[in-house]
Structure 1
């Protein structure tokens, strides 16, 4: 990083923001980034000899750079690699939720899934998360990460922000981690620095205003937007919040959040903001603010006319629901339905909400895929194996060694000394990885090919393993 060359207009901008602190800020950009992870609260409860992230109780900094590709627990969804500064969403969301019940939450710009998986951890089973990604090529990785995280109350959608207008005033909380100029990622992603110029900042600012404007209608009166970027300039941050005040009478929100050393806080026109600078915290650049829609704003009903999901619901009524799908998960408040040939389960609480969303938006996935019927046999889906609601008592669990787990995840052949006929759950350190189906003298590996480890470790990088 010693040869980093910052654009002159960026230097001028940051000198204006930081004053005498600029030299220290620039020196921080010459230092390597420090990687961090966030562990799954329901999949990994063992102590870790890592430095904790103060503003997120599941967050930890890694002591050195290492690859997680060859850690079976990473593939099991036991932890997620996430930049530490962005984990600040957790205390913000917790302060917004408090004790509210049956909340509907939208993560608008969700891929690859770091913030959505974090939101899942903060919400409870009476809350619904809609995780949306507008870029088609990024929806699959979002869905994979959420499936591995294993919650049942999630709908993954693929829509432009303007599409949500069809729902009317629907959401209680909307998280907008807006596409930005990426100034806060310069040392982590040199390409962001090469793409930066003042025109790009102006373009990002205009795009962010359009996104906020488009999604405002979908927010209930009294509802909250948590807005964030990974950039430093005021145009994409405080100025956008002031614009929302002027255009839509957005209000500031008083939140009770613990103070954390190094996080810069401020208030402009009644709106609070939080800034992360790399010379003040161990993390990359980050900005966050919270605004509220006035209680006096008008409600509107949805105007969606999509009927595809409704037809699937009618087809489902003619299909006998296999008994195993009713108790494969321990969650009692479960609605089992058929989508095409696949049985899925979803929170009973939000069954009507699912119907409404399906009439207005493009749904990529709703709930947890349970499996399909193939003749008289039920083939369980890989998502069930890693669901936090899996009823393990229905199946035999097989504990794998590290080498066996890597071979299983790579879909390589290996020999098991013991397995029970039929479906078995493969586990590593007690955490489920996926399925095999055992037959006389052999077994079939049902780990998804699209999830498999494709490259063998070549010894050039250190392997990180959370369980060691």
Structure 2
């Protein structure tokens, strides 16, 4: 434990003493809160298996243990800065605290479902949902703040998500015109007490009044989710806080409003130690069914704290007519860009079978899952993945496009050494060997490391390879520290 954490601990625990009677082992809870939080990852299933990722990490001196309850999850030592490693920049993994990975598991997802992530940024849960749907079909990811939308889109691009429409607006006012959804996640903005192991300074801002203020917004979000949920559909409501005011009391109020049209389901995750929901708090006795909610206390699994409630809507409630989807525009000649791309990089013709191109901006083209049916409203911030710039000469793949398509390229592809990889991620020029460029022509090339695409570069006739890795993508510009 650092000196700073020792200094903060008394104040931090003082903000949590009102939960002492809810916690089965208060000393163990206090010890857990004082420890640094382990780093957790999940493997991008479109690019690498969890076992292969663990082997890759071990080869770089990073020990990774599998999560007992999630097949693609890995736990690393505290303090590992995943964003500074090449494999993170290549979209092979996403860093997400273990407790935060829980809500999507309980959505009971399957390909073909229409899904809404009502409070989506920064996008870890959105990406989990997208892959559970097979990166096909229709997922709508909504958030309110523009800066959080930028982080959301950045993560989806890095991971290669093509089945998602991103919208920006108040989730509590999500429009009826969007239609109804089979599954809805409400990972509600909250007081974030469960993140104190990572953010101990938040303790100074915590009080009951804050939780009560937040609860009004949380009820509005959950109420809207019930309206937008299809009869027979499922809603998962979650927070990363301990406060019953933001958790069981919010769920109890919405259940009461619905008068039997909504029911709680048992929330269980094999391999994970959890606690039941609270059924009495601050003089209020709740329905015994609230015990079916799930609480994750930090000391039970060495995680952050979390709360999850799983709700299902009565299948006999009348549904709404299915709205017509938004029209995805394609301009004459846009297919020619794809043909040119296929020819240059030797991409397989079948690659495009489950994808379609769309022009959302004058800058270039997006790739969207062929069966994606975005809603007309709210207006989209973006759909699918921006993969090719066409407003420059010559046109070029974006970094996200190179990561998505590069593994299938058979031409103009250049494998880097570890030293060259670090230089590329640091946006430095490098000089490849004659053997490396034997099968490449001057111009744009996809660069890879260990067979995994890293992005795009320009090979000049002078023999220099110029990095096009974007500085904004991550901390990988400090590449030597990433080894």
Task: State the TM-score, normalizing by the size of structure 2.
Answer: 0.83
Q: 1:185·1:285 contact (CA, 8 Å) conserved in 2?
A: yes
Partner of 2:158: 148
Please state if 1:113 is matched with 2:133. no
Partner of 2:424: 408
Partner of 1:259: 270
Over 3 Å counting, the alpha-carbon distance change for 1:425 and 1:455 in structure 2 is closer
- In structure 2, stretches of 5+ residues that fail to align are 56-62, 280-286
Partner of 1:395: 411
Partner of 1:300: 320
Partner of 2:197: 187
Partner of 2:472: 450
Q: 1:409·1:452 contact (CA, 8 Å) conserved in 2?
A: no
Residue range with higher mean Cα deviation, 172-181 or 365-374: 365-374
Residue 77 of structure 1, CA deviation? 1.0
Q: 1:107·1:130 contact (CA, 8 Å) conserved in 2?
A: yes
Deviations 1:103-154 (A, max 9, x none): 1111221221211122223222443222222111111111111101112212
CA separation in 1, counterparts of 2:449 and 2:190?
Answer: 39
Partner of 2:232: 222
Residue 21 of structure 1, CA deviation? 2.1
Q: 1:424·1:437 contact (CA, 8 Å) conserved in 2?
A: yes
Partner of 2:60: none
Over 3 Å counting, the alpha-carbon distance change for 1:171 and 1:225 in structure 2 is same
Q: 2:425·2:479 contact (CA, 8 Å) conserved in 1?
A: no
Residue 225 of structure 1, CA deviation? 0.9
Please state if 1:440 is matched with 2:461. yes
Over 3 Å counting, the alpha-carbon distance change for 1:79 and 1:125 in structure 2 is closer
Over 3 Å counting, the alpha-carbon distance change for 1:35 and 1:340 in structure 2 is closer
Residue range with higher mean Cα deviation, 391-400 or 425-434: 391-400
Over 3 Å counting, the alpha-carbon distance change for 1:143 and 1:195 in structure 2 is same
Residue 318 of structure 1, CA deviation? 3.6
Residue 281 of structure 1, CA deviation? 1.0
Please state if 1:17 is matched with 2:22. yes
Match of 1:26 among 21, 30, 45: 30
CA separation in 2, counterparts of 1:36 and 1:320?
Answer: 41
Please state if 1:337 is matched with 2:358. yes
Please state if 1:212 is matched with 2:222. yes
Q: 2:425·2:467 contact (CA, 8 Å) conserved in 1?
A: no
CA separation in 2, counterparts of 1:188 and 1:367?
Answer: 32
CA separation in 2, counterparts of 1:336 and 1:455?
Answer: 31
CA separation in 2, counterparts of 1:261 and 1:437?
Answer: 48
Over 3 Å counting, the alpha-carbon distance change for 1:137 and 1:403 in structure 2 is same
Match of 1:5 among 4, 10, 31: 10
- 1:322 match: secondary structure: helix
CA separation in 2, counterparts of 1:80 and 1:375?
Answer: 31
CA separation in 2, counterparts of 1:374 and 1:169?
Answer: 35
Question: Any residues of structure 2 matched to 1:79-98 within 5 Å, and which?
Answer: 79-93=93-107, 96-97=108-109
Match of 1:381 among 388, 391, 398: 398
Over 3 Å counting, the alpha-carbon distance change for 1:464 and 1:7 in structure 2 is same
Please state if 1:283 is matched with 2:303. yes
- 1:44 match: secondary structure: coil
CA separation in 2, counterparts of 1:264 and 1:139?
Answer: 33
Q: 1:56·1:90 contact (CA, 8 Å) conserved in 2?
A: no
Q: 1:167·1:301 contact (CA, 8 Å) conserved in 2?
A: no
- 1:235 match: secondary structure: helix
Residue 283 of structure 1, CA deviation? 0.5
Residue range with higher mean Cα deviation, 141-150 or 337-346: 337-346
Residue 197 of structure 1, CA deviation? 1.0
CA separation in 2, counterparts of 1:215 and 1:446?
Answer: 42
- In structure 1, stretches of 5+ residues that fail to align are none
Partner of 1:431: 452
Q: 1:9·1:198 contact (CA, 8 Å) conserved in 2?
A: no
Residue 80 of structure 1, CA deviation? 1.3
- 2:10 match: secondary structure: coil
Over 3 Å counting, the alpha-carbon distance change for 1:59 and 1:175 in structure 2 is same
Residue range with higher mean Cα deviation, 235-244 or 24-33: 24-33
Residue 320 of structure 1, CA deviation? 4.4
Q: 1:66·1:464 contact (CA, 8 Å) conserved in 2?
A: no
Cα-Cα RMSD:
2.8
Q: 2:430·2:465 contact (CA, 8 Å) conserved in 1?
A: no
